[in-house]
Structure 1
Amino acid sequence: MAQTSDLESPSCPQKISGDEKSIVKTTEKPVDVQNGIILDDGLQRGLLGRHVTLISLASVIGASCFYGFGYALYLSGPLGALIGFGIVGFIVWALMQSVGEVTTMFPIAGGFVEHAGRFVDPAFSFAMAWMYYFMWSVFLGSEWNGAILILQYWVPEEKMPLYGWVIVFWVFFSILTTLGVVVYGEIEYYFGWFKIISFAVCFFISFLVNVGAFGNGYIGFRYWNPPEGPIVNGINGFGQVFVLASAYYVGTEIVSLAAGETKDPRNSIPTGVDSVVYRIVFVYMGVIFFQGLICPSNAPELLNAESTVASSPFTIGFVQAGWKSAGDFINVLIVIAFISAVNGCIYVQSRVLYSLALSHRAPQVFAITSTKGVPYVSILTSVCWGFLALMNMKVTAGQVFAYMTSVGGSAAYIAWAGIVFTHLRVRSGLVKQGINPSTYPFKAFGSIWIYRFNLFLNVFLLLIQGFTAFEKPFNWRLFVVSYITIPTTILLFVGYKLYHKTRWVRLSEMDFSDRLLKIDDEDEVKKVSFINKLTAKVRH
C-alpha cells in the first residue's frame, strides 16, 4: 500500500491525536471524477448515510421472511425457533461489531473480502470471496424459487409455467440492477421502510387476531402447548433452525461491501452497524414471536420439504381468524419484499465479483464499468444464477428451498468466521504496532474475548449444523448440501496458496498507513474539507 502523501485527498480529512499539537491529514487515496460523478476503484460513491442505514436494517429482508419462517415453526415450534434465532442473533450482533471496526477504518471496494487478503493471506481472501459469491448465487436462486411458490397463489402453473416466471425475473432484474448505485440506494431506502412498516402492520394485526378481535376467540399461547409447541421434533428440529437462521441473517455484513460506494463511511458505517440490533430484535425475533402466536406449527400449509405451494404463517393465522382474503394482502407485501431482496442480493454478488476481477482473481472482463461506475458485466453475469430456480422442475419447490438453505446457511458460517478472524488479526496487528485504540474511528463493543467466542460459535455451528444426516438411515443428500462448502473452501484456499505461493501476513508487516482515524475537532475538519474541495477543482 502506498504511504500517505503530503498532498491531501479531496474527500476525507483526518485528525491524529497525540502529545503534540493535533495534525489534520488524509490517508485516503485520491478519487477520480468523471462527468461530475465521484469514482473510487471505478465505483461511484453514491450511497448516503440514510441508504447505508436502511441497507443494513432492511435490504435483505426478503419475501422468504414472510413464508420461510414458517419452516422454522414447522421444524422446531414457536419457542425452539425463537431460541435458535436468538442465538444466531447474538452471533450477528458481534459480527457487525467486527465489521464496523475494520470497515470504518478501511472503507474500500470489496470490503471484508479485501481486508482478508490484506491482513490475513491472499489465499484466504480468494477462498472466502468465491465461497461468499457462490453463497449469494444460491440464495438468488432460492429467492426466485420462493417467489414462484407464492405467485402460484394467483397464477397456477397451468397458466404460467415455472420457467416463464424465471424468464420474467431475469429480464426485470437485469434492467433494474444496471441502473446504478444511486437507484439501488433509493430503492432499498423506500422499500426498506415499506418492509419495516409492513411488518409493524402484520404484528399489530397478529395482536388483534391473538386477542380475538376478528371474532375467532382468544388464542393467547395456545400454540405454545403440545402438540404444536413450545418445542417440536426435539434436538433435530432445533439443530436445523440454526442453518435456517444463518440463511436469513446473512446480508447484514453487506455494509462492508457498500463502504466502497459510500460518501461518508466514517459516520455512515457505524450508524449502519448500530442499526442491526433493531433488525435482530424487531424483524427476526418479532416475526418468529408473532407468527408462533397465531399459527400452529403443524399447519399443513406451512413450508416444508414436500411443499409444492406454501403460505405465510401470517396468512394462515389471519385466514383461520376469519379474514378470508388475507392471502392477497400478504402476497402483495411478499412481492415487494422479493424485489428489494433480489435487488440487494445481486448488488452483493456483483460487487464481490467486481472486487475479485480488480485484484486479478477473476477474469478482467468482470472489472468493466460504465462511465457512471456501474459494473454491468458483473451484474448481468450474477443475475443468471437465478436460473438455479429451474431445479423446481425436477423436485418439489420445498426440497429446492431446503437444499439451497442448507448450502447457503453453511456458507454463511464460513463467511462470518472469516470476517471475525480477520477482525481479530487486525486488532492484534494494531496492538503489535502500538497504535492507540483512541484513534479508531469505530471501536467494537467490549472485550476482545467476545469476538474470540463468536469465532468459536461460528465454527462450532458450522460443524454440527448437518448432524441429522448421520442418523440411521444415513441421509447422503443432506450430508452433501450441509457440508459441501467446507471441502470447497479448503480446496480454494490450498489451490490458490500453492499456485501463487502466498504467505501469511505478519502482524508487524500489516500496513495501516491509509486507515481512517477518529475525528473530534469538527471545525478543523470543515476547514480542511474546504481546502480539499478547492484542490479537487484545480485538479479537474
Structure 2
Amino acid sequence: MSKEFEAGVTGSTSSGKDVSIEKNSPIETTTEDVQDGIILEDGLRRGLLGRHVTLISLASVIGASCFYGFGYALYLSGPLGALIGFGIIGFMVWALMQSIGEVTTAFPIAGGFIEHANRFVDPAFSFSMAWMYYFMWSVFLGSEWNGAILIMQYWVPEEKMPMWAWVLIFWGFFSVLSTLGIVVYGELEYYLGWFKIISLAVCFFISFLVNVGAFGNGYIGFRYWTPPEGPIVNGINGFGQVFVLASAYYVGTEIISLAAGETKDPRKSIPRGVNTVVYRILFVYMGIIFFQGIICPSNSDQLLNATSKAASSPFTIAFTQAGWKSSGHFINTLIIIAFISAGNGCIYVQSRALYSLALTGRAPKIFAKTSKKGVPYVSILTSCTWGLLALMNLKVTAGQVFAYMTSVGGSAAYIAWAGIVFTHLRIRKGMDKQGIDRSTYAFKAWGTIWIYRFNLFLNIFILFIQGFTAFENPFNWRLFVTSYITIPASILLFVGYKWYHGTHWVRCSEMDFSDRLMRLEDEEEEKTVSFTTKIISKFRQ
C-alpha cells in the first residue's frame, strides 16, 4: 500500500544521503522501509504510538518551572488574578488545539503547522513563523536550564559547584539523551508524563491536607484570597503580566502538530491528543494555580520574582510552614525529574522545526541530515547548544534571566499561535471555496468558525498589550525590548524572505488538497478490509 504525503524541496534518507523530492510527489512505503514496525518518511521514522501522542500533548512540557514558576504569577497578580489570567489563555489554547487538530489530521506531514503555512498561506509567512518559533523554544530551553540550576543549588551551593559547570553538565546530558531516537523519546515522555501527572496529584492532595490543617498548622481555607495577599494584587499591571507568563507555560501543546510526521496513525492519534488538552488545562494549569494560591501567600519573599537569586516552589513554602521541614527535598526531586522531560521536549521541538526548515531549503541543508536510525542529529545538537543561554545568570540574577526569557518567549508564542490559527482559517476558506464537504474532514474543529476568528483576534490583541507596563513613568526600556522585540523581528523575516525569493500569497483556488486524509474514504477502506478478512476467515474454515 502507498500513501501520499507532502514532501519538501530537499530531504535526507535514513542513511544520511541527501535527496530531492518534488512537492506533492507520492512517497511509496514498502516492506524495506519498515524496521521494527517503524515507517521511514523523509529520513524521519513514524515511531510515535497513540499513547505517546496523548501523553506528549498532556504532560510533555510540564517542566520544572511549573512547580516553582507559577509562584511568579501569584507574586504578580495574586491567587484570583493568576487563576483568571490562566483561564483566559486556557480558552485560547483550547481553540488553538481545535485548529491544529483539523489541519494536522488532514495533513500529517513533517514540520506540522510550519509546512501547512508554507503550503497554504505563503512561504515567507511560514519562514517568519518557523524561525520565531525556533528562537522561542531556544529561549525556553535556556530558561529551563536556568531554573534547574536554581533548584540544584538547594543541595549543592554555588561555592561547591559553579553555575557554569551545571550548564556544561546539562549540555552533555541532553546531547546524548536527545539523539537516542524517536522511540526512546516517545517512551521516555510516556513514563515521565505519567510520573509528572501522578506527582501533581500527590501535591494537590497534600495541599488539601495543608489547607484543612491536617498537619497541625490550623485551617487556612481562603485566608490568602483576602487582602493583603489577595485575591488580586498589583491591579491591572500584575494581571497583564500574567498573560505573558501563562503563554510561556501553555506553549508546547501545539507540539503534536510537529510530532504528526513521526506518528504511526495520525488520523486516530492526533484527535485523541487534541482532546486531552482540556484535561491539561483544568488539571495541570488551573489545578496548580488554585492549590498553590490557597496554601501560599502571594507576598512571600521566597516566591520567584525579578530580584530573586534563589527561589522556592509555593508547594515547598506552604508545606514547610505547615510543619513538613524536609518538604524541599521531596518537591525539588519532582522538579528535577520534570526538568529532564521538559528539557528533552524543548530540544525535540527545536530540532524538528529546524529540520523542517532545512528540508525545504529555508535553513542550511546540513540540518536535514539524519542518522541510520532516523535521528536528525545535526539539528538536535545545534538546538541543544541554545541551553548555554543560561550562562546569562553569571551577569544578572536568575530571577531577571527568568523574567527576560519569559517576556521574549511569551510574546513569540502569541505570534506562533496567531500564525497557526490564521493558517487554519485560510485552509477552511480554501476547502469551502473548492466545495469540499466538511463531513469528509478526518477531524472537524468544534463549533462555529467565529470561535477561531475570535481566537485570532485575542492572540493579536494580547500580543500588543502584554508589555504595556513598560510605558509607565519612568519608561522601562528593558521590559519594552523583551516584550516587543519579536514583532519587528517577525516582520523583518517575512518582508526579507518575500523580497529575496519573490514569493506570492497562495490563493484559495490554488490550494492542493489532493493528498489529505479523509474520514469517509478511510472508513470505507477499513470496512472493506474488515469484510474481506471475515470472508477469507470463513473460507479457510
**TM tier, smaller:** over 0.9
Q: Name the residue aligned to 2:400.
A: 399
Task: Sort the Cα spacing of 1:529 and 1:132 in 2 relative to 1 into closer, same or farther, 3 A.
Answer: farther
1:277-329 residue CA offsets vs partner (Å, 9 max, x unmatched):
00000000000000001000001100000001100000000000000000000
Partners of 1:34 and 1:166 in 2: how far apart?
39
Partners of 2:296 and 2:194 in 1: how far apart?
Answer: 26
Match of 2:503 in 1: 502
Match of 1:340 in 2: 341
Q: Which structure 2 residues correspond to residues 91-490 of structure 1 after superposition, within 5 A?
A: 91-490=92-491
Q: Distance in 2 between matches of 1:434 and 1:507?
A: 11
In 2, Cα distance between the equivalents of 1:529 and 1:194? 38
Supply the distance in 1 between the matched residues of 2:193 and 2:456 (Cα, whole angstroms): 30
Q: Tell me what 2:54 maps to.
A: 53
Q: Give the Cα separation in 2 of the matches to 1:67 and 1:521.
A: 46
Instruction: Quote the Cα distance in structure 2 between the aligned partners of 1:152 and 1:87.
Output: 35
Distance in 2 (alpha carbons) for counterparts of 1:530 and 1:361: 46
Q: 1:11 to 1:512 in 2, by over 3 A?
A: closer
Moved segments of 4+, more than 6 Å: none
Question: Cα distance 1:478–1:10, how it changes in 2: closer, same or farther (>3 A)?
Answer: closer
**Residue 109 of structure 1: SS of its match in structure 2?**
coil
Q: Count matched residues.
A: 511
Determine whether 1:9 maps to 2:36.
Answer: no
For the residues of structure 1 that align with 2:48 and 2:475, how far apart are their CA atoms?
A: 49
The C-alpha deviation readout for 1:301-359, integer Å capped at 9, x for no partner, is 00000001100000000000000000000000000000000111000000000000000
* Alignment correspondent of 1:21: none
Q: State the distance in 2 between where 1:28 and 1:187 align.
A: 32
Task: Select 1:31's aligned residue among 22, 29, 32.
Answer: 29
| 3-state SS in 2 of match to 1:296 | coil
- Following TM superposition, by how much is the alpha carbon of 1:29 offset from its aligned partner in structure 2, in angstroms? 3.7
For the residues of structure 2 that align with 1:421 and 1:529, how far apart are their CA atoms?
39
Per the TM alignment, residue 10 of structure 1 is displaced from its structure 2 partner at its CA by: 6.0
Asked whether the 8 Å contact 1:27–1:515 carries over to 2, the reply is no
> By how many angstroms is 1:34 displaced?
4.3
Cα–Cα, structure 1 residues 501 and 528, in superposed 2: closer, same or farther, change >3 Å? farther
What secondary structure does 1:44 align onto?
strand
Q: CA deviation at 1:147?
A: 0.4
- In the TM superposition, what is the alpha-carbon distance from 1:526 to its structure 2 partner? 6.5
Q: TM-score, normalised by structure 1?
A: 0.93
Cα distance, 1:38 vs structure 2: 1.6
Identity of aligned residues (%): 81
What's the secondary structure of 1:88's corresponding residue? helix
Q: Is the 8 A contact 1:28 1:515 kept in 2?
A: no
SS at match of 1:155: coil
- SS of structure 1 residue aligned to 2:519: coil
Q: Which whole-Å CA distance do the structure 1 matches of 2:44 and 2:530 have between them? A: 22
Is 1:90 aligned to 2:91, yes or no? Answer: yes
Partner-residue secondary structure (3-state), 1:371: coil
Structure-1 separation of matches of 2:209 and 2:469: 38
Deviation (angstroms), 1:41: 1.5
* Residue aligned with 1:39, SS: strand
CA distance in 2, matches of 1:210, 1:174: 42
Normalised by the size of structure 2, how large is the TM-score? 0.92
Structure 1, unmatched stretches of 5+, are 1-7, 13-25, 532-540
Q: Deviations over 1:105-154 (max 9, x none)?
A: 00000000000010000000000000000000000000000000111101
Structure 2 letter corresponding to 1:42: G
Counterpart in the other structure of 1:516: 517
The separation in 1 between residues aligned to 2:396 and 2:39, in whole angstroms, is 47
* Structure 2 contact 69–304 (Cα < 8 Å) conserved: yes
CA contact (8 A) 1:27 1:514 kept: no
Listed one character per residue, the Cα deviations across residues 229-286 of structure 1 (whole Å, up to 9, x for unaligned) are 0000000000000000000000000000000000000000000000000000000000
